[in-house]
Amino acid sequence: MKMKSHTRREFIKATALAAAGVSFAGPLVSRIRAAEPDRKIGFALAGLGNLSTHQLAPALQKTKYCRLTGIVTGHPAKAERWKAQYHIPDKNVYNYDNMVTMADNPDIDVVYVVTPNALHGEHSIKAAKAGKHVLCEKPMEVSVEKCQQIIDACKRAGRQLAIGYRLHFEPNNLECVRLAREKVFGDLRMVEAGFGYAIGDPTQWRLKRDLAGGGPLMDVGIYALQAARYLSGEEPVLVSAIETKTDPVKFKEVEETITWQMKFPGGMVAHCDTTYAFNGLNHFTGHAPGGWFRLDPAFSYHGLHGQRSDKLEINLPDLDQFAAEMDDFAQCLLNHRPTRVPGEEGLRDVKIMMAIYEAARTGKTVSLA
Ligand code: NAD
């Protein structure tokens, strides 16, 4: 049986995901908004790789409140292709060295940082210094210190910072948050969550510690961690972990597979897994005394669906998660409200992932309390 439909707004309202924070919507946007009420927020994509090419640029065409006005790239040939495809004028094309000169370009309000993980700090801070709002991809950075530097730079510049947590805008995930928050099956006692895939090209940056910061945990395990956090509505206080490696050549610099457990203050436990060794791991289940709910697939771009122990299906209509995420950020800027996915949310995940690595390395339970 298909579940009765709820509006997206109801799901968003039902969640307690909205994080605390101050609105940093800048005076530039508000002045322009007053003068031109129909003006869309101008986005520049920094890093024109897979995500930007196949998801973000197409998603920007579907947004209501955003438009693609600029690019930052180190490849002149790529810039030519993007300029032609998206009608981007020369004056809105930057490289990583000159992006601070965006300061005098009113076409660009937001820089969306989509470069390898360990470059997010450098590029986000340059964008903030240019007076731009920052949307930074996950994982926010590869250390807690670097995350804090991004937060500080955006605060200093008086600009808002959001992290690209697209599932905070996805109806099926939000429905599961509602089931948890409204205790439809009682208090959650356990979450099981896993996300992984078989990684290809052994030369790619995702397998290099200095650019990726870690392996599948930083890349996709972060979604399982997020699920445990947004379903519990709490922060973990204890972490334990085990790592295993079957291909020490390919995974010389990063983990291949890692499994971890987390204890939450209300008594819930989470069991999570991530891997670069095989496909098919893409799910979460919430268990409570009165029943369970599950999404599988839980973290893909499309086709998310699931079941409940009372035989109802969870199968809400797809939306473009990236368009929803960018439109929400644009509305935050236009309406002077804080994002529900602020830098502090990205920092919390990085802090927990560092504890997971420490637990795996030492074989000891790590306290986060
Ligand atoms: P990618 O390798 O396809 O693209 C990375 C881009 O960064 C390339 O255009 C590359 O030229 C550029 N770059 C700049 N400096 C570089 C350097 N020193 N070394 C290597 N590349 C450099 O990667 P991607 O899959 O687009 O991922 C980019 C970011 O987006 C990552 O942080 C990743 O975690 C994140 N991401 C998020 C999602 C999501 O669902 N939210 C999905 C995929 C990727």
Q: Which atom of ligand 1 is nearest to the CA of 211?
A: 19
* CA–CA distance, 9 with 334 (Å, rounded to integer): 18
| Angle (CA) 47 48 51, round 5° | 95
* CA–CA distance, 215 with 209 (Å, rounded to integer): 8
pTM: 0.92
- CB distance 134 to 150 below 8 Å: yes
Helix count (H) and strand count (E) of the chain?
Answer: 13, 15
- The residue among 236, 197, 218 whose CA lies nearest residue 346 is 218
Q: Is the pLDDT of residue 170 over 50?
A: yes
- Say what the pLDDT of residue 228 is: 98
Pocket of ligand 1 (CB under 6 A): 47-51, 74, 114-117, 119, 137-138, 164, 166, 205, 211, 219
Average pLDDT over residues 239-267: 98
**What is the distance, to the nearest Å, from the Cα of residue 93 to the centroid of all Cα atoms in its chain?**
25
- What is the CA(47)–ligand 1 centre distance, in A? 6
- The residue among 109, 114, 150, 149 whose CA lies nearest residue 130 is 109
- What is the CA(52)–ligand 1 centre distance, in A? 8
Give the bridge partners for 177, in sequence order. none
- CB distance 346 to 147 below 8 Å: yes
**Residue 245: Cβ within 10 Å count:** 16
Task: Output the average pLDDT for the chain.
Answer: 92
Q: What percent of the chain has pLDDT over 90?
A: 89
- Say what the pLDDT of residue 21 is: 28
| Angle (CA) 4 233 357, round 5° | 125
